[in-house]
Amino acid sequence: MKTYLIKITTPDNFIRHVYGIYSDGFEAVIAAMCNFPDACRISARRLP
C-alpha cells in the first residue's frame, strides 16, 4: 500500500487535494470518482 495525493477539480474550478492510502493509482482514481461523481478532472500521484 502506498500514499497517493489525489487532485480533484469540480465544475466550478474548485480544486481539492485529498491524501489516501491505496494499492495503486488506478484504485485511487476509482475511489475519487465514486466519492466525487461531478468532478471534471481527477489525477493521482504517488508520494514517496
How confident is the chain (48 residues) per 10-residue block, as mean pLDDT? 97 96 96 96 96
Please report, for the chain, the start and end positions of each structural domain, with discontinuous segments joined by +: 2-46
pTM score, whole prediction: 0.86
Pick from 40, 6, 9: nearest CA to 26: 6
**Can you give the pLDDT at residue 25?**
95
**Can you give the pLDDT at residue 5?**
98
Cβ contacts of residue 16 below 8 Å, gap of 6+? 7, 8, 9, 10, 36
**Can you give the pLDDT at residue 13?**
95
